[in-house]
Structure 1
Amino acid sequence: MDKILGLDWQGMLIPSQSLLEVFVRGTVTYWIIYLCFRLFRRGTGQLSISDLLLITMISDAAQNAMAGTYNSISEGAVLILTLLFWDYAIDWMGYKKILFGKLARPEPILLIRNGRMLQKNMEKELIDEEELLGLLREKDVDDYKKVKSCYLESTGNISVILKDEA
């Protein structure tokens, strides 16, 4: 009965390892994952099934590196707060252009100029013609030749400027 109703307050609230170690583990793991995503991935504004799978697998693989084996709520809370801290800090530093503004917010990539698809830029971002046409349709553009310029923004969304029809 003690196992059902009893609570181990000490095990639940008192850390089993240093909270500083949990913070450092969370920080190092966050930066490794952040840099990998920023350097190697920039999606097109929406998560695909493979993106979700990748994120899930990375989170599972990183869990032990981040937390080691912890049992207390306080260690879990410190780890969660560490990840939230770095997420906010990177957004803030990107906004203030501190340290790595270009890394936090890369320059937009031109995909269409004056009705011509820029294949090299599309290839660099792993966007094929069908995907780009689909993204244009989502912006109510039925013909890419009507586009003055189309950019892949740092957010992963596209922005489209149509040619003047004078």
Structure 2
Amino acid sequence: MPTAVAHFGLPFASFYRAPNNPYVDRLLSQLRKKNIGRSDIPSFPKGAKGARASMRYLSQGNHLGILGDQKMNDGICADFFSRPTMTAPAAAALALKFNALIVTGYVRREGPARLVLEVSPPFDPHSYALPSQKRHDTIQKVTQILNDRLQEWITNRPGEWLWLHRRWDKKLYH
């Protein structure tokens, strides 16, 4: 997605989980930079260090992309396909903190070698905050909205989704 969006003039940084093989990690980093066309767009490692660096990056007025279909054991619980699912609250929390809009999107396949970027209209997470509501409740509500969007995309085109990790609690797979 970062590569596709960069072609439209809005490059954004993103989080990543580094491959275990350092040579593969270096190769992927080089390919990302080459395809984005700029070497100043960072990728932040998953975890506390990456989170701090991403907040500095956002505070400078830059854009950040977050992959929304990842399991996060220390995240918050939100429904996903009618199951309680540990979900990263970062998109909602960062958008609220930095007064940013959230833009969701995905890439769909149109043919053997044709991919199309689908982008939804931006939405303001502050519009879901009530004056009497705690920040955590707004983060919960916005995170649920993001899970609902992802679920809708998957339901509409299930053959285009592949997870290489377990999305739900391990007990569900036995």
Does the alignment reach a TM-score above 0.5?
Answer: no
* Greater strand proportion: 2
Larger Rg: 1
